[in-house]
Amino acid sequence: MQLYKYIKSLTSNQQEDVKRMGFGKMLSFNVSGIPAKLTHYVVDHFNTEEMTIEMSCGSINVDVESAMTF
């Protein structure tokens, strides 16, 4: 719920920054909540050097190219 509120409260300049980073589609999320367990998992398994979410079966790239495929 807080992510949804945060996204909706971004200024136009902040929204432009999000789009420039390749995550513009997040601005149209209509999800009013993300399960806390999922959020904690992503944060705990995010590799900031590789920009990936590390999982037991492999990793998920978190970059402009992968974000644009959604």
Confidence at 70, pLDDT banded by 50, 70, 90: low
Q: What is the pLDDT of residue 53?
A: 94
Distance CA 16, CA 14 (A): 5
- pLDDT of residue 6 exceeding 60: yes
Order across the sheet with 58-61: list the strands: 46-47, 52-55, 58-61
Domain segments of the chain as ranges: 1-32, 35-70
Tens of pLDDT, residues 29-54: 776 666 788 888 999 999 999 999 99
